[in-house]
Amino acid sequence: MPHRSKPLSDPLFNKIALIGIGLIGSSLARVVRREKLAGHIAISTRSAATLKRAEELRLGDSYFVDPGDAVRGADLIIISVPVGSSGEVAQAIAPALKPGAILTDVGSTKRSVIAQVEPHVPEGVHFIPGHPLAGTEKSGPDAGFADLFENRWCIFTPLPGTDTEALERLSEFWRRCGSNIDTMDAEHHDMVLAIVSHLPHIIAYNIVGTADDLQAVTKTEVIKYSASGFRDFTRLAASDPTMWRDVCLHNRDAILEMLARFSEDLSSLQRAIRWGDGDKLFDLFTRTRAIRRSIIEAGQEIDAPDFGRQAVEHPQGLDQVKKS
């Protein structure tokens, strides 16, 4: 039974400030409201139009273009912006952060975020870098939903000397959002994410870009016949371009290493096809099926026909899939 800082009936924090209200930020706003994790939700984003939409959706209790105004008096501040903007946000909010506040982020790269944010963190503020491994290809305040973090992992990369009570309090926050918790050092995090997230997205962008450039196949045919593997790549390739530009620039070393390994394996696969090495192909395809099964068994995916698309669109169909 995990330790809880406060009874479930009480808000975990008096005031939470969400800096950035895209998919992650708006999902946090929704789950914080549903689970009553804060007495007050302050929202800030630099786009006046996006801020207005967040207010129309009633995602928060107060709304600010200036992030410094949003974080005043906040007990928990969550930075949910593209990783390349982390330092700019940290510098803007630093003078307004109160002693004892917890400052965290949701960025997909950790070494870069730490390098950008840590120099601006005032004495007495607990900076705990974080990364919830949850998302979709959608973006913006309308894209969020309260169950986004359910049974997903949130990874912390605590700095040396991190206050254990602050870390536990933040861990409890994410547990109440539905997440499982893990910790690791920032360098290891960036290497892991390079293979499980960053490289697949880069490959997807590249494959879809190749199809777009291909003269022998018309775009009409690509779209018409996309009920095959190509469709799954387009989902990844539809992700927020600003976010993924920043990920590539801010996790460059790990991504380049994984791209080099992938290129070597791709060359090996190319040789097997060229020389008709069926045994090698069969061995590779057998090993990779086991990875898919392991992901399903770990509860990170559903084993449903059509990757669960029909089930998601028609929830009653999901019940039938589960029964079958």
Question: Measured between alpha carbons, how far is 158 from 197 in angstroms, rounded to an integer?
Answer: 21
Give the least confident one: 27-31, 173-177, 230-234, 294-298. Answer: 294-298
Q: Does the pTM exceed 0.85?
A: no
Instruction: Give the amino acid at 255.
Output: I
pLDDT at 257: 92
Q: Where are the beta strands (DSSP E) in the chain?
A: 13-19, 38-44, 62-64, 76-79, 102-105, 126-128, 130-132, 153-156, 180-183
Q: Is the pLDDT of residue 191 over 90?
A: yes
pLDDT band of 301, cuts 50, 70, 90: low
Question: Measured between alpha carbons, how far is 149 from 153 in angstroms, rounded to an integer?
Answer: 8
Q: Is the pLDDT of residue 4 over 60?
A: no
Q: Is the pLDDT of residue 232 over 60?
A: yes
Mean pLDDT value of segment 170-176: 97
The encoded tokens of residue 84 equal: 């390349």
Q: Is the pLDDT of residue 230 over 90?
A: no
Compare 166 and 215 and report the one with higher pLDDT.
Answer: 166
Q: Is the pLDDT of residue 300 over 90?
A: no
pLDDT at 78: 98
Question: Measured between alpha carbons, how far is 202 from 206 in angstroms, rounded to an integer?
Answer: 6
pLDDT band of 291, cuts 50, 70, 90: confident
Yes or no: say if 272 and 280 are a contact pair by the CB < 8 Å rule.
Answer: yes
pLDDT at 7: 43
**What is the percent of the chain where pLDDT is above 90?**
65
Instruction: Give the amino acid at 226.
Output: S
pLDDT at 41: 98
DSSP-derived pairing of the beta strands 130-132 and 153-156: antiparallel
pLDDT at 5: 41
Q: Is the pLDDT of residue 235 over 70?
A: yes
Yes or no: say if 93 and 19 are a contact pair by the CB < 8 Å rule.
Answer: yes
Instruction: Work out the mean pLDDT of the chain and round it to a whole number.
Output: 86
pLDDT at 3: 38
Q: Give all domains of the chain, ordered by start, each with its CATH number.
A: 13-184 (3.40.50.720), 188-304 (1.10.3660.10)
Give the least confident one: 84-93, 148-157, 202-211, 301-310. Answer: 301-310
pLDDT digits (tens, 9 = 90+) for 82-109: 999 999 999 999 999 999 999 999 999 9
Q: Is the pLDDT of residue 305 over 60?
A: no
The residues near 71 (Cβ < 8 Å, ≥ 6 apart) are 17, 19, 42, 44, 77, 93, 96, 97, 101
What is the DSSP secondary structure assignment for residue 210, as one 8-state letter?
Answer: H
Mean pLDDT value of segment 196-219: 80
Give the least confident one: 34-48, 114-128, 215-229. Answer: 215-229
